[in-house]
Amino acid sequence: ALSLFQRMQSTSGVILEPETYVLLLASIAENKYFCDDSPPIEGAIDLGYDHSHGPALFDELATEMAADALEITSSSARRLYNALAIGFPNESSSPSSNPENQDTDVVVSTLKEVHPLMSMPITRQLANGNTLVASRVSLDRSTGVCPVTEAQQRLVVLEEDQRGQLHNDLLDLSTEQFTKFAGKMKGKDSADNKAREELQSFSDWLDTREGEPFTAIVDGANIGYYMQSFDKGRFNYHQIKFIVDTLEERGENPLVIIPNKYGYSKFYSAKGITQRLDQTEIQIIEDLAQSGKLYKVPPRCLDDFYWMLASVSDQSASRKGRDLSVSNDNPEGRFPGTRPMLITNDQMRDHKMELLETRLFRRWYGCHIVNYNFTAFVMGESVAGNEVGFSPADFFSREIQGNQCPINSDDEDTSCWGGHAWHFPVNDWELDERFVIRIPAKKQQ
């Protein structure tokens, strides 16, 4: 099976689906090769693997899977569960099934085969260090900690080459969007390139401008319309100013990006109603423009692409090679995370379907998006003590990942056990639910 799998991996044009990895892992598990005391798989080392059996082989194969796949199905989760139940002895019916009597020097399994169509219940009980884990869990939304293994999920950020790829994808998508918006007509190739040229021009401006780099990109349209349904869908510039002022007070250098029409004193709102700005609102626009904190997207171009691209821009001239990210324990009290951060409540479900690489979109969304909340303004009026609350869109990445399990040094019986917990997002479960596998491994002395 490993030999066939290797040939498939090395064959040009072959895309390995998550189910292919599940089939391989399940087959090896059923034959007990993930047990630490199992004989080695013949030829595994010759095929290039560092390990030929045991938990380390599972980690190696799961690492390969994580590079190619993002999630699995619930049927695949049950398949893996049953395979581990077959491959590891079940101790629940023996006299030592009582936790007080269990042998802490061996891997303990309490798994029992389930019907392939049975729904998997959520497990919340912390497992002993030497207990095999194959469970459906609900991760702590604010910490990413697994209640069964105590392993903490990471927020995986975009690598430099991935930022570049996303940048280029956005340029391509801007052309497609412009063509759909304007209508494809014969002899209009130069017009089709307009959106790409405009977006590239914006990218070049970000990369060459002097001064301080932007650390917060503001989705002006999203904030202007925030909670304004009571006022016929009015675009409220006072809310944008409120966000900008708050960001500056917290040590950020914001750039507000708005669709072109909102840069005029009169325009049609999202609900098709003519809106006229008063002098105070016009002054807000002028102040933002004069301070270099406002960018009006060219007509017929989608503003979403602009604030998405701004969040991954190198800003080479202004950044000067500095790492703009903010640590969790920064003394200034700034919002921690990647910079530039993107202030929006837009879920961007349409872009998710269009971008070619789902992994890029998820990593970008998870590490750059910051959601906000505050009490909506009525024209220029706001409630006393109104404050902006910021929160990351994701505290941890929704992709397959393995993380070291913490060792419970207080439990002398199982403190010699360690290993990785592998958490698999399941596409038909809840957002924060995962299928977790941990095959305990003895710590190296």
Measured over the CA atoms of residue 243, residue 245, residue 247 and residue 249, the dihedral's sign is negative
Q: What tokens appear for 439 in the block?
A: 């095959």
- Between 13-22, 194-203, 405-414, 432-441, the lowest mean confidence (pLDDT) is in 405-414
Question: Does residue 245 register a pLDDT over 50?
Answer: yes
**pLDDT-derived band of residue 191, with 50, 70 and 90 as boundaries?**
low
Choice among 198-212, 343-357, 390-404 with the minimum mean pLDDT: 343-357
Which range among 75-79, 177-181, 325-329 shows the weakest confidence by mean pLDDT? 177-181
- CA distance readout (Å), 427 to 69, 75, 367, 430: 12, 10, 21, 8
Q: How far apart are CA 38 and CA 35, in angstroms?
A: 5
Mean pLDDT of 33-60: 95
Pairing of strands 369-373, 389-392: antiparallel
State which H helix or E strand residue 138 sits in. strand 133-138
Read off the tokens for 252: 């950020």
* pLDDT band, very low/low/confident/very high, at 384 (cuts 50, 70, 90): confident
Higher pLDDT, 320 or 351: 320
Q: Where are the alpha helices (DSSP H) in 11-124?
A: 18-30, 54-68, 74-87
**What pLDDT score was predicted for residue 21?**
96
**Statement: residue 406 has pLDDT above 80:** yes
If we measure between CA atoms, which residue out of 370, 336, 393, 353 comes closest to residue 223? 370
Q: Per-residue pLDDT averaged across 46-55, rounded?
A: 95
| Better-predicted residue by pLDDT, 99 or 444 | 444
Closest by Cα among 288, 274, 177 to 242? 288
Q: Phi and psi of 61, rounded to 5°? A: -70, -40
Closest residue by Cα to residue 5 from 56, 54, 57, 55: 57
Percentage of the residues of the chain whose pLDDT score is greater than 90: 69
Rounded average pLDDT over 176-200? 70
Report the distance separating Cα 202 and Cα 310, nearest Å.
9
What 3-state class would DSSP assign to 195? helix
How do residues 206-238 score in pLDDT, each as one tens digit?
999 999 999 999 999 999 999 998 867 899 999
What counts of helices (H) and strands (E) characterise the chain? 14, 14
% the chain with pLDDT above 70: 90
Residue 333 pLDDT class (50, 70, 90 cuts):
confident
- Residue 152's contacts (CB-CB under 8 Å, 6 or more residues apart) are 143, 144, 145, 146, 396, 403
pLDDT value for 74: 97
* Kind and range of the H or E run holding 401: strand 401-404
Mean pLDDT of 251-275: 93
* Whole-angstrom distance, CA of residue 389 vs CA of residue 377: 15
In what helix (H) or strand (E) does residue 420 lie, and over which residues does it extend? Answer: strand 420-425
Q: Which residues contact 177 (CB under 8 A, 6 or more apart)?
A: 195, 301, 302, 305
Quick one: pLDDT at residue 174?
Answer: 85
Residue 93 is predicted with a pLDDT of 46
Residue 412 has pLDDT above 70, yes or no: no
Cβ distance 137 to 148 under 8 Å?
Answer: yes
Task: Encode pLDDT of 61-120 as tens digits.
Answer: 999 999 999 999 999 999 999 999 999 987 654 444 454 555 678 899 999 999 989 999
Question: Residue 92's pLDDT is what?
Answer: 55
Specify the pLDDT at position 97. Answer: 47
Residue 85 and residue 135: Cα distance in Å, rounded? 12
Rounded average pLDDT over 49-56? 96
**Mean pLDDT, rounded, of the chain:** 89
Confidence of residue 54 (pLDDT cuts 50, 70, 90): very high
Q: What number is the average pLDDT over the span 387-394? A: 90
Write down the pLDDT at residue 91: 61
